[in-house]
Amino acid sequence: MDPIRIEEIKDPAGYDRVRADIRRRVLEARTLRRIRVGERFSVVFETRETILFQLQETLRAEAIHDPEDVARELELANELLPPPLHLFGVLYVEWTDPAGIRGLAEDLSGIEAGERLRIDVGEAEAVPGRFLRQRTGEGPGAGPYRLRFPFSAEAADRFRRLDRPAALVLDHARHGGRAPIEGPTRRALAADLSGPA
């Protein structure tokens, strides 16, 4: 994906004029790209548009206007853009019991290790999720997990063949699940892998 450019960032007044329309489009994109796996987890596969939206929302919510601070946020946003043949996802933990939040870190212990979260392509190939470094204040109970799925050219080719089965798999001591990736969601993610290697 091409990096987001500074000139794409709208000033506060300009963003407020188009925010409702952008939010609607991003919500539709994220709904299409959300895959629930297991009882408590879902992964939303992000796009350049959704990352730009999140950047604009951060600038708006935190009233960031200083050019150096805007440039810093832009740099952080561009770090999330996946390179060719990668998918970028955000793993959300759906925890509804406030009393249980304190034990969440222990409950999720080891989720970032090995190949706990992966995309199975056919029966023989697994594309492991590689977790990105958490930011300050994030972690179990405090924020989402960001990860990339690096496809080989062969795995990407198989994933783009919509007649081949694919699934998002969570393999964890306390949590597990397998969700097929199909229909419009599969087509959208396959299109993300169609860029140059």
Q: What pLDDT shows up at residue 94?
A: 76
* pLDDT of 139 over the 60 cut: no
Q: Is 112 helix (H, G, I), strand (E, B) or coil?
A: coil
Tell me if 110 sits within 8 A of 175, measured CB to CB.
Answer: no
**Of 51-60, 119-128, 188-197, highest mean pLDDT:** 51-60
State the Cα–Cα distance between residues 91 and 45, nearest whole angstrom. 9
Whether 165 is covered by a domain: the verdict is: yes
Whether 197 is covered by a domain: the verdict is: no
pTM: 0.85
pLDDT tens-digit map of 159-179: 999 999 999 998 876 677 899
What backbone torsions phi and psi does residue 6 show, to the nearest 5 degrees?
-60, -35
pLDDT tens-digit map of 88-100: 999 888 776 666 6
Q: What pLDDT shows up at residue 34?
A: 97
Structural domain harbouring 42: 6-192
The residue type found at 148 is R
Whether 1 is covered by a domain: the verdict is: no
Query: What is the tally of structural domains in the chain?
Result: 1
Tokens of 65: 């206007």
Q: What pLDDT shows up at residue 145?
A: 83
| Residue 171 or 191, more confident | 191
The residue type found at 31 is T
Whether 137 is covered by a domain: the verdict is: yes
First-residue to last-residue Cα distance in the chain:
11
